[in-house]
Amino acid sequence: MPWYDTDSWLTAAFAPHPATMAFTLLLVIALPILLHTFIYRKQTPTSLPGFVLLGPSGAGKTAFVTLAERSAVAQTHTSTSPLAIDAILPDTIVPTSAHYRSPGDPAYERARRLLLQDTPGHGKLRHFAAAQLANPINVRGIIFVVDAAAVADEAGLNEAAEYLHDVLLALQKRYTGAKTSKGPKEIPVLIAANKLDLFTALPPHLVKISLERAISEVRKSKAKGLKDSGVAMGGEDDGLDEEREWLGEGGDGPFEFRQMEEVGTTVTVKGGNVIGGDAADVQSWWEWIAEHL
Ligand SMILES: Nc1nc2c(ncn2[C@@H]2O[C@H](COP(=O)(O)OP(=O)(O)OP(=O)(O)O)[C@@H](O)[C@H]2O)c(=O)[nH]1
Ligand SMILES: [Mg+2]
């Protein structure tokens, strides 16, 4: 039947049929709703800005996450799986992104929310942390928690330094391996020197110096290991330099956290204690988080 017939579908579509009217009504109501949900989803990220907690076992990562969640300390045990919690900045701290908003503004409240991601620090369970580092979706910063009392001795310091070396190297590779010329979004690192309530704990500036020195050693021994294996396989030294994964600037000088700025990573060291003393003191960590939120 031709389209201009009285009972063709086109004629029906323009005729005052109840079905046509119902369909049009439905379209008029549904279209704005669909458009809104589509555009709104596109504009606002569905996930909260995240901060990943890394660090050796027993440093106090889970203790900090628990403190952030319940505002009270609780007994923690060695973690075997990652954990993510919704946290809100303490009332006294205003995120940099919301400096010009007033309390009560919904955007102000939203800007205070973040996701804290705890990872297990045990050597055999670091794949959880590695997975987070390999694919940092909406990660605003990394909080590397160290036990300031444990880094006072050789073994504790080396464990922390080796782990931190690997974390920084992963961040460096992410930056140098980026496809775009602009580079990926920078991920800052906070080294949270925890357990400052303990008598044996090193003050933050000494934690920084000790870690830098220990990372220099780690870097040197890794380079030596690579070279030795190259010699053992009868290979030449050429080509090795390309493969060598060297953290920070080239050359044999000492490693400094400052060198990481060139690959888009600022490293800050701040002290605190989650448990003990007169009360928990993690204010400076929250301030750092607020700065990068
Ligand atoms: N004195 C003191 N002890 C602390 C502090 N923070 C955490 N601890 C203790 O350190 C121990 C280890 O803390 P966790 O938070 O479980 O350590 P973790 O980093 O989560 O360790 P893994 O889960 O094994 O990676 C716990 O017994 C805590 O009570 C602190 O600021 N001072
Ligand atoms: Mg834990």
Domain boundaries, the chain: 9-41, 49-292
Cβ(260) – ligand 1 distance below 6 Å: no
Q: For ligand 2, a single-atom ion, which residues have Cβ within 5 Å?
A: 61-62, 79
For ligand 1, atom 15, the nearest C-alpha belongs to 60
Cβ(79) – ligand 1 distance below 6 Å: yes
User: What does the alpha-carbon distance between residue 187 and residue 137 come to, in Å, rounded to a whole number?
Assistant: 11
Number of other residues whose CB lies within 10 A of the CB of residue 127: 11
Whether pLDDT at 280 is above 90: no
For ligand 1, atom 13, the nearest C-alpha belongs to 60
- Looking at residue 162, its pLDDT comes to 94
For ligand 1, atom 7, the nearest C-alpha belongs to 60
- Looking at residue 242, its pLDDT comes to 45
Cβ(123) – ligand 1 distance below 6 Å: no
- Looking at residue 230, its pLDDT comes to 60
Question: Ligand 1 center to residue 67 CA distance, Å?
Answer: 11
Whether pLDDT at 236 is above 50: no
Cβ(272) – ligand 1 distance below 6 Å: no
Cβ(121) – ligand 1 distance below 6 Å: yes
Q: 53 near 63, Cβ under 8 Å?
A: no
SS (H, E, C) the chain: CCCCCCCCHHHHHHCCCHHHHHHHHHHHHHHHHHHHHHHHHHHCCCCCCEEEEECCCCCCHHHHHHHHHHCCCCCCCCCCCCEEEEEECCCCCCCHHHCCCCCCCHHHHHHCEEEEEECCCCHHHCHHHHHHHHCCCCEEEEEEEEECCHHHCHHHHHHHHHHHHHHHHHHHHHHHCCCCCCCCCCCCEEEEEECCCCCCCCCHHHHHHHHHHHHHHHHHHHHHHHHHHHHHCCCCCCCHHHHCCCCCCCCCCCCCHHHHHHHCCCEEEEECECCCCCCCECHHHHHHHHHHC
Which of 10-14, 88-92, 189-193, 267-271 shows the lowest per-residue confidence on average (mean pLDDT)?
10-14
CATH class of 49-292: alpha beta
- Looking at residue 239, its pLDDT comes to 44
Q: How far is CA 185 from CA 136, 174, 266, in A?
A: 10, 10, 12
Question: Ligand 2 center to residue 127 CA distance, Å?
Answer: 14
The predicted-structure confidence for 152-209, as pLDDT tens digits, reads as follows 999 999 999 999 999 999 998 888 887 777 778 889 999 999 999 999 999 999 999 9
- Looking at residue 161, its pLDDT comes to 95
Q: In a mutational test of the pocket of ligand 1, which residue from 53, 62, 85, 281 has the highest number of ligand atoms less than 8 Å from its CB?
A: 62
Closest approach atom of ligand 1 to CA 76: 16
Whether pLDDT at 227 is above 70: no
For ligand 1, atom 12, the nearest C-alpha belongs to 58
Cβ(58) – ligand 1 distance below 6 Å: yes
